[in-house]
Each structure stands twice: as structure tokens, then as C-alpha cells.
Structure 1
């Protein structure tokens, strides 16, 4: 698209009224400039993904679940607006606290952490978590989950999270307060981009010392993720932050093209909400347009939007706008389709080599 002209929309003189709703707010954002405009356009693009029946991946970096954002993920899953998820292990681990009614409190960021340590309080910015009552209690729960589970053969983190969702659904006090349980109910695969870099992996250490071996099949996992893209008519990502979850989702295109030679072209749509800068060379700040050079996205000019702001501010706006404007979609239930998707991709690859 050629933007080198004076044909854009007029900038309005904004008028805020007491009876305005989320639609009005998003329209205001979209009609202005800077990151407000990006946020408004991103909310509309999320709705476009839903209306086009795209297979939508949500990636979650940063500490989103300790501030309750798992409830937002749950709502999107229930409406059929998120089909698969890639998260850090920390976001899965801390989400389980809510299902088991383990205490997580608002605290403060202007504190002496030496004092908090003495009081057995762990801090994530202005969120407090008790060491004994929450973290150690959660550790025992996770060890109980896997003391006899996933020992027979290599597993993926989607299988790991599915097992967590099943266990918490059957045994926790408040299973409705976990997006991992909801993902289990709706067959939404939840992948953990770096399992060993989280308390979930640390919790497996005592089991390993007792000769209980958990073997992650990380190669099958990345093939499954590429197979989801390959078997989708249209595909999109909503990225909260960046980091490894972002790249895990976006590298599906290069795997299909660069490695397997299938010429797919990558994602149709990507929205990223980040506060990372692109000029430092970090993955979190790498522009979506740059991703085109790698084959991560089909078009560098259309349907890729970066919003440079705090995801805890912007993401609820996207959620409410979509929930207010889009009818629920039938769940794609990708988790149960993964074996067939894997097989389809395998056949395509070997047929290509003939």
C-alpha cells in the first residue's frame, strides 16, 4: 500500500461523552495518531482475524497471570477467539495458584526487599506471593501431578499442560479460575516455550532424583506448531510482550519454508503489544515487518500492527472490543487434531522430496 500521499482520513477534534462504550473508545483511538491509533487499529484487526475464521495463537511473555490476566485468556478461549497458546512456564505455574486458592495479593513496588524476604514474601513488581503458603504449596501440587504421569514416553509441553489442566479440573478447589483448565476443556493446546526455565521444571527435579524421568520431545513440538500453521486456511498471532513465545509462534513460517521447503509464507496477521525498542536488536522489539524477511509473515505492509505500550493496559481493550462485537466461534479443538496435522505435514514434506 502506498502511503506517500495526502489521502488519509481527517483527524477529528475529539469529543468524549459520558455514555460512550468500548466501540466509541476504540473508534476514538483509531482516528487519532501514535500508539492510540495503533491500539485502535489492532482491536479492529483482532476482530478481522475472528471474522475471517483464522486460527489464532496467543503468545504470553512477562508476568501476566500473577495480575489475573488468565481470566481474560479464559474468556477468549470460551468464545472461540483463541485456538492455541504459547506461554512462558511462569505464566502457567502462577495461573495454577488461582485454581488451588493459593494466596496472591496486591503489594507495592516501593519496598525493602530484605524485609520482604524475611517475611517470606516474593515480589513481582507490586504483586506479593507467599513463599510457604503459595509457592511451596504449588510445588507439592505439581510434583503430585507428575509423579506418575508422562513417564512412559517423550512428551510435548502441550501434553504437559493438558495433564495439568486435567488434574486441576479434577482436584483443585476453583478449577473455573484457571485458563489451563479451560484450555483442557476446549482442547486448546498450550505450549510452554521454555519449560526448563521455570518453576514447573524445577518441580520435576525431586522426581528426577528419585529416578522418575520426564523427557521432553521438543522437536515434535515445533513440528506440531508448524503443522497448525500448515493446516490453517488463515492464521494469526496476538503477542503479549515478545521474547521466546513470540519467536516460537513466528518461527513456524521459516520451518515450513527454509527447512522443509514447502513455500508457505508465514502468518496472515500479527498483533504485538510490546514496550521493547527495535533498535537494540532484541527479539522482543524486532518489528513484524522485519519478520517478513524471514518468512514469518506473508505481508510486511498489511495486517501487521505493533502497539508500543504496556500489555496490561492495551490487552483488556482488545479483549472487550472483540467480546462486544464478535459472535462466539465454534472451538477448533486443535489439541485432538495434532496427530493428524503432524501426519499431514509429514506426507507433504516427503511428497515434496520425491
Structure 2
């Protein structure tokens, strides 16, 4: 066995009623900046919870996070937290608000341009402490330092991640998934599954990440096999835990070509990130099979064990379609060109050569 390293520095609280830990976690702070979308805090009851239990705090709401947060939104959020003299940031919502909260906490204490700070190896000033509270079961962002930000001018996704942009705490309570619609729940579960799968086959994988990846895949696949009834708390718990494990996995392994291709569908066609991954998953599996990736046999065995029918769940999300039904031949080529410029393509378990990737994508 070769030498390897691993770490998972986020102090996480998982399970129903985990939210009650927030009362203790916020004790040291007076001014709290909450980063979220426009409606999630009200829809889930989180705003009511904060109003009821934190009357002694100065609660500030930056509820302007869009899906796939832009550089402009991050800079505005950093300015908001800085001018309000926030002492702690709470990221509440799906992957977009969680990712945004980590970047906003950095810009709150480092008043610089986005690309200027992005290029700095180490932040001059420590970011504000961050507490992440996920409301979807997709990104696992609460467990790593990744912050995916969209450059709307270049139609590109950038990972703003530094050694000190980890959340300090994660409060992972399945209660907040109860307000999710079925399609979104399934789409985010596919995102979590692909995190585990890609992390497992990544050239950066190690025994620590593999153990989490296999467990995450098993939990998610078994939940789908049982029907993935979104009215059952067991479904929510399983998908959410699989997502959390996936977040730890990609902290060590990053993602691969599958995610890079998916970014294009999200950027250009506004397809939900998890749904984009679900559309691309059969193609990626075929690429691995034809390339003789040994670990793909493990993935195939797990899917066979649980009778995992990708097409069925694509249909549940409204996207049981081929790539050629979404993109023209020219757009498919543009997608591959874009994906091959992304760093995560380098971690794929096969050589992602353009002609090979194109041939598989245009095959069906």
C-alpha cells in the first residue's frame, strides 16, 4: 500500500433535531449573517426558528443567492457581511448557498477583487467562521472547502477553495429536506451518487476515500431500490447521509470528467446540476467500461445488486433523454472542448481524449 493522507476537519452534527446544536454553536457570537436563497428559510421554517430562539442575536439575512451563484453575488455578500460587522456566517440551503457562504466569509475579511483573491495561495486574513446547514442531499458542501462560483461572462465554473475555507461546523438535519419536491430530491441524490462514484474511480482516491465512497453508493442505491419514497423520513436520512459521505470523498479525490461535462449542460442549457449528472452517467460508465477501468466492475456490481435502473429515475426527473436530444453535434463538441479544459477531467480513471469522448457521447 502506498502512503496516503486524509483529513475531514469539519465538526458535524447529523440527524433529526441536530438543529438544536445551533443554540450552543452561536453562543460566542452576537451578529450573525445568514446566507441563503430567496424563499428557503421561510419554506422550511428556519426563519421562524431563528426568530424564536435567537432573539438576543443581531440576525442579518443575505437572501440573494441564486442557483449557481455568480461572482457578483459573492462580492455583494462579502461587502454585506463586512459592513454589518458580522461575526459568523450561516450557510443555509442547497449547494449554492453553502458554497456561497464559504466564499462570502472569505471576502468579508479580505476586501479584494474575485480573481485577485482567487490567485492568492493563502488568504491574508482568516475568513469569518462558517456554519453550514444543508437543505438538499446533493453536494455535501458542508463537509469540504469547495465553493463553486459561476463567471457569468465567461460561462465558466470556478472553484474558490482555500486551505482555510472549510466550515467550522455542519448541522445536518433531515427535517429541512421535508419541503423538497420529489424531482429536486432525486436530482440532488444523483449528484451525491456521482460524487461517491467519481471519487471512487478517481486517480486521486485512497483507502479512506474508497471506504466512504462505497458506503455512500450502497446507501443511495439501496434507497432507490426501496422505491425512494420521499414522504418517508428514512429516505431523507439515507440520501442526506450519502450526500455527506460524498462531500468527504470529493474533498480527497475531487470529481472527474463526468462533472466537467455536466457543468456545460448547466451553464448552457440551465439543466439542474444533479440532473445533468444523471443524464451523463450512462455515457460515463460506458467510457470506463471500454477503457477497462477495473473499479468500474465494482460500480457495475453494486448497481446490479440493487437493480439500479438509471432510465427509470431519469424519467422521474423528466429527463429520460439522450445527449443528442439536448445538444446538436456542434454543441456536443463544444461541451467536450470545455470539459477537457477543466481540472477535474485530469482525475478521470482513463485518458479523456476528445475523439473517444465524442464517439461515446454521439453513439446513442
TM range (shorter): under 0.3
TM-score normalised to structure 2 length: 0.25
Answer with 1 or 2: which has the greater Rg. 1
Higher relative contact order (CA 8 A, sep 6+): 1
TM-score normalised to structure 1 length: 0.26
